[in-house]
Amino acid sequence: MSAETPLSLRQPRPTAGDLAGRALGSVYEIFVALPDFFFSLLQRIIGSKRMPYIFVLPNLLIFGIFILFPMLLNFVYAFTGGTDFFPEKRPWVGLANFQQLLDCGNYLQPNTCREDLFWRAVYNTAFYVVAQVSLLILVSLITALVLNRKIRARGFFRSVFFYPVLLSPIVVALIWKWILQENGLLNGILIALGHDKIPFLVNAQWARAWVVLISVWAYMGFYTLILLAGLQSIPAELYEAAKIDGASDLQSFRRITLPLLMPTMLVVTVLSLIRAVQIFDIVFAFTAGGPGTATFFLVQYIYSKGFASPDRIFGLAAGASLLMAAVLIVLTLAQLLLGRQED
């Protein structure tokens, strides 16, 4: 991978890193020795057969209290009404929340729905998921294929694509808001090219498109890395054999690369789908759902019903989140089944 370093340059000298390593080593000794006293005592009392319960306990406790229990509690919220926060004070309303969410004159026109904001969020999210995931996978795949070629400085380019992944959603949103604002860089370039300014963040269609584009910009590095690893795990002998048999580049791509990359593609699709359905923070700082409700998505609906609006309608928020969870589970199961079939 890397260029060869002349031996003379590799000088064995104790660096700050070595010292830090040694210090960490002694800290780790303490980490082992101190609890060992307690755990050994425990082991003597309950016997080593029961020790695994002790090891699982901390994780299970936090998981149970902060993940599993709230998931069950979500059902309580979804089937009760009113604006009270504490479940014991909330009146049972049965399916009323779901009825309010799902009651529509015509499902294709959100303004005929009782909870039209929810349906706008549903359609916006559906459009976003389809557009973002397909573009994301296309761009990541092309980039991974390019990075998989015999190129110089592959590590550098890999990092270039990965860097935005590390940026926080708020930073990503502000970087692009700054470029796309009315007097921003992109409009400056347009003017220089003799074009008129475009109100990117004011026009609903442009705002939707840019939400897709900047989230692809921000996340593609991650999926590129995974796809690249998938490409590199394909044995080179297969390509050599195909070449000897007289296969063209296109043929070996279609007959070797694509089929062998399918498992990785599946992972990437599931991950990006789950993530896309949950889109929130980038958009929250980028357009705050606007202009109007053009980029108002499902999680923002849940957030605004439960936390942001003056009258907190927790029942609707919980109901909407259950519907969203159902969609996520269906999506994941469908992907898993598809993957099974191909094997």
Partner 1 sequence: MGEVLTFLTRTRGRSRLHITDLLTYLYLSLSVVIMFGPVLWLVLSSFKTAAEVVKFPPRLLPYRQETIEVPGYDEPLPLYEVTREDGSVVRLAQVRRVGLEAQMIDPQNPDAIIKVNIKQRKPVEKVVFGLDNYIEGMESFNFAVYLRNSVVVTVSATLLTLLINSMAAFALSKYRFRGRDAIFLIMISTLMVPISVVLVPIFLVITKVGWNNNLLGVIVPGAATPTGVFLLRQYMLTIPDELIDAARIDGASEWRIYAQVVLPLARPALAVLTIFSVMWRWNDFLWPLIVLSRNELFTLQVGLNSFQGQLNIQWHLILAMTVLTMLPITVVFAFLQRHITTGIATTGLK
Side-chain-facing half-sphere of 233: CA atoms under 13 Å: 13
By CB under 8 A, the count of residues binding partner 1 is 103
Nearest approach, Cβ of residue 45 and partner 1 (Å): 13
Rounded to 5 degrees, what are φ and ψ at 233?
A: -85, -5
* 260 contacts: CB under 8 Å, gap ≥ 6: 230, 234, 238
* 239 contacts: CB under 8 Å, gap ≥ 6: 252, 256
Buried b (16+ CB within 10 A) or exposed e, 73-98: ebeebbbbbeeeeeeeebeebeebbb
Q: Is 257 in the site for partner 1 (CB under 8 A)?
A: no
Nearer to partner 1, 19 or 170 (CB): 170
Residue list 118-177, contact with partner 1 (CB under 8 A) = 142-143, 146, 149-152, 155, 157-171, 174-176
Looking at 239, 274, 290, 291, which residue binds partner 1 (CB under 8 A)? 274
Distance separating alpha carbons of residues 162 and 143, to the nearest angstrom = 11
Q: Is 89 in the site for partner 1 (CB under 8 A)?
A: no
Q: Is 113 helix (H, G, I), strand (E, B) or coil?
A: strand
Q: Is 307 in the site for partner 1 (CB under 8 A)?
A: yes
Q: Which residues are 113's β-sheet partners? A: 104
Q: Is 262 in the site for partner 1 (CB under 8 A)?
A: no
Nearer to partner 1, 122 or 228 (CB): 228
List, in sequence order, every beta strand (DSSP E) within the chain: none
Looking at 121, 207, 225, 261, which residue binds partner 1 (CB under 8 A)? 225
Looking at 52, 194, 246, 310, which residue binds partner 1 (CB under 8 A)? 52
- The C-alpha R_g of the chain, in whole angstroms, comes to 27
Nearer to partner 1, 293 or 321 (CB): 321
- With CB under 8 A as the contact rule, which of the stretches 108-116, 120-128, 219-227, 236-244 interacts with partner 1? 219-227
Q: Is 207 in the site for partner 1 (CB under 8 A)?
A: no
Looking at 20, 22, 40, 254, which residue binds partner 1 (CB under 8 A)? 40
Q: Is 194 in the site for partner 1 (CB under 8 A)?
A: no
DSSP 4: P
Looking at 55, 112, 254, 255, which residue binds partner 1 (CB under 8 A)? 55
Nearer to partner 1, 14 or 17 (CB): 17
CB 2, CB 14: distance < 8 Å = no
Nearest to 71 by CA among 280, 288, 321: 321
Q: Is 248 in the site for partner 1 (CB under 8 A)?
A: no
Q: Is 276 in the site for partner 1 (CB under 8 A)?
A: no
Nearest approach, Cβ of residue 221 and partner 1 (Å): 8
What separation in angstroms does the CA of 16 have from each of 12, 13, 19, 290? 12, 10, 5, 51
Q: Is 70 in the site for partner 1 (CB under 8 A)?
A: yes
Nearest approach, Cβ of residue 157 and partner 1 (Å): 5
Nearer to partner 1, 108 or 156 (CB): 156
